Amino acid sequence: MASITGFSGAGLFSWGVLTPTCKPGNVKLRRTVRVRAESINPEIRKSEEKVVDSVDLTQLSKPITPYCRCWRSKTFPLCDGSHVKHNKATGDNVGPLLLKKQ
């Protein structure tokens, strides 16, 4: 089997791996995805505990709308607070983008 090279710096999401599942007379491939915990913010405002930006807008339906910047939110593009677990695991300081109604 040839080795897979060039994927060591795959970034935020690792590549999928096909794993054979053998049953008598039947071979199926099952796809698994590996996600590595890596820093999302390598250099922006690292002196701050958490990077959160806000934008004031006049035409919003809610007073504050948080948008995800860690790419981990289950409600993406809206923030669900997943950055807290990500920051603890990686030492990162990413936080949401807050859109505020003026």
28 is catalytic: no
Which residues, 6 or more positions from 86, have their beta carbon under 8 angstroms from its beta carbon? 37, 40, 70, 72, 92, 94
Cα separation, 64 vs 62, whole angstroms: 6
* Closest among 58, 56, 54 to 67, alpha carbons compared: 54
Q: Which of 46, 50, 62, 100 is catalytic?
A: 50
- What per-residue string of b and e applies to 42-57 under the rule 16 or more CB within 10 Å gives b? eeeeeeeeebbeeeee
Active site residues: 50
